[in-house]
């Protein structure tokens, strides 16, 4: 069968077989056992066993010619195929091992991430628990008294503070700055609200000035008034009786009705001190609340009054002073004439106060930062 590459009398040394049909070059030997390992060794052992038992096989055809066919070449081809199959299997196993290792790495990473999240959650939980604990322990009553100018701000702070600390009750009396300061000094209030700076005699008695905000004092008239602004001298002249008719100041021929706050008012004290007219004013009306002053200025033709920016609205017309408009920005940059502090007075420093009072000032400070 030379045309197929076989010769019955010649060996296939060129194909890797010796004269006895062995595959020493490939690890096969018909005389010696093979001690291969793994899948390849298993295939080699099977091939060797076949060689031992089968040997050669003779076929008789119709022409009585004998052709010896050696099965070793067929076994070799089968072994090669199986060997390639084993290599493919090993490669697949290696890929699976890599995937499993990658999965284990990802799993360890996920466990670490989960652990980190649990740790972060634990810190947050501790902070929340601490805040909750303070909420549970802080209780009692807090008494404030003083300026009606600070009513809007103080009421909003009290509402928020009681919401944060449900077991605390905050009460506020609007009795004027002087009365509020006195209440703190005699112990009938914890905090005094003042819309002016403290006086020397108040400081000497142990009052401490804790400024919590700055406020402007707006000068207001009824909306039909033709005057839109005044100078400092004109405003002082109105309140001391120098000017008595709006026609003297560029307005209509309407008498000026001077409206102010009652004695003891922080707004009145600040207004008169800034203008330098303390105890020189000629009032037609001295009222005890911001609302009353605003209503009088809005409803009476020719009336003039002064209000905190806190209660200013469109029912009245606010006048410019020395060409500066009464707006918050001009209070903050101190270009507006009538500026004064909002003060929360304590008897002694804040650090010397009770836990409840200190918590109140911490809350006020927090609101200042957030706004």
Strand, helix or coil for residue 286: strand
For the beta carbon of residue 147, count every other beta carbon within 10 angstroms.
Answer: 31
* Closest alpha carbon to 209 in 187, 184, 174: 184
Q: What is the 3-state secondary structure (H, E, C) of 322-345?
A: CCECCCHHHHHCCCCCCEEEEEEE
Is the pLDDT at 245 greater than 80, yes or no?
yes
Is the pLDDT at 125 greater than 80, yes or no?
no
DSSP H or E run through 303: strand 303-308
For the beta carbon of residue 78, count every other beta carbon within 10 angstroms.
Answer: 15
- As beta bridge partners, residue 180 has none
Is the pLDDT at 88 greater than 70, yes or no?
no
Confidence of residue 43 (pLDDT cuts 50, 70, 90): low
For the chain, where are the alpha helices, taking DSSP H only? 38-54, 71-137, 151-164, 177-185, 200-204, 232-239, 266-275, 290-299, 328-332, 355-370
pLDDT tens-digit series, residues 170-200: 999 999 999 999 999 999 999 999 999 999 9
Distance CA 276, CA 335 (A): 18
For the beta carbon of residue 355, count every other beta carbon within 10 angstroms.
Answer: 11
DSSP 9: S
Question: Residue ranges of the domains in the chain?
Answer: 1-135, 140-370
For the beta carbon of residue 44, count every other beta carbon within 10 angstroms.
Answer: 23
Regarding the domain delimited by 140-370, which CATH topology (the fold level of the hierarchy) does it fall under?
A: D-Maltodextrin-Binding Protein; domain 2 (3.40.190)
pLDDT tens-digit series, residues 45-55: 655 555 454 44
DSSP string, 193-237: EESSPPPHHHHHTTEEEEEEEEEEEEEEE-TT----EE-HHHHHH
Distance CA 98, CA 35 (A): 30
For the beta carbon of residue 198, count every other beta carbon within 10 angstroms.
Answer: 19
Residue with tokens 């503070």: 161
Distance CA 12, CA 89 (A): 31
pLDDT tens-digit series, residues 248-307: 999 999 999 999 999 989 999 999 999 999 999 999 999 989 999 999 999 999 999 999
Instruction: Let me know: does 151 contact 197? Beta carbons within 8 Å.
Output: no
Distance CA 340, CA 218 (A): 11
pLDDT at 137: 80
């Amino acid at each position: 069968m030379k045309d197929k590459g076989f010769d019955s009398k010649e060996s296939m040394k060129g194909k890797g077989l010796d004269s006895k049909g062995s595959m020493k070059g490939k690890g096969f030997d018909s005389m010696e056992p093979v001690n291969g390992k793994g899948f390849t060794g298993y295939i080699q052992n099977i091939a060797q066993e076949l060689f031992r038992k089968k040997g050669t096989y003779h076929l008789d055809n119709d022409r009585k010619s004998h052709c010896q066919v050696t099965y070793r070449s067929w076994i070799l081809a089968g072994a090669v195929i199986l060997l390639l199959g084993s290599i493919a299997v090993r490669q697949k196993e290696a890929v699976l091992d890599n995937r499993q290792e990658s999965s284990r790495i990802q799993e360890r990473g996920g466990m670490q991430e989960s652990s980190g999240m649990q740790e972060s959650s634990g810190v947050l939980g501790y902070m929340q628990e601490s805040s909750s604990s303070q909420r549970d322990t802080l209780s009692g009553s807090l008494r404030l008294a003083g300026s009606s100018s600070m009513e809007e701000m103080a009421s909003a702070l009290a509402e928020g503070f009681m919401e944060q600390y449900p077991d605390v009750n905050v009460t506020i009396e609007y009795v004027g700055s002087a009365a509020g300061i006195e209440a703190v000094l005699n112990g009938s209030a914890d905090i005094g609200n003042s819309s002016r700076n403290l006086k020397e005699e108040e400081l000497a008695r142990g009052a401490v000035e804790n400024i919590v905000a700055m406020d402007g004092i707006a000068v207001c008239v009824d909306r039909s008034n033709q005057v839109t602004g005044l100078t400092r001298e004109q405003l002082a002249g109105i309140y001391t009786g120098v000017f008595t008719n709006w026609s003297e100041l560029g307005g209509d021929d309407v008498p000026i009705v001077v409206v102010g706050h009652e004695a003891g008012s922080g707004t009145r004290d600040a207004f008169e001190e800034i203008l330098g007219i303390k105890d020189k004013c000629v009032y037609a009306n001295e009222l005890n609340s911001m609302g009353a002053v605003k209503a009088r200025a809005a409803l009476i033709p020719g009336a003039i009054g002064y209000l905190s920016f806190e209660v200013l609205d469109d029912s009245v017309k606010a006048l410019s002073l020395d060409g500066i408009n009464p707006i918050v920005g001009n209070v903050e940059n101190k270009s507006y004439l009538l500026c004064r502090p909002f003060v929360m007075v304590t008897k002694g420093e804040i650090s010397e106060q009770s836990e409840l009072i200190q918590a109140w000032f911490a809350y006020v400070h927090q609101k200042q930062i957030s706004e």
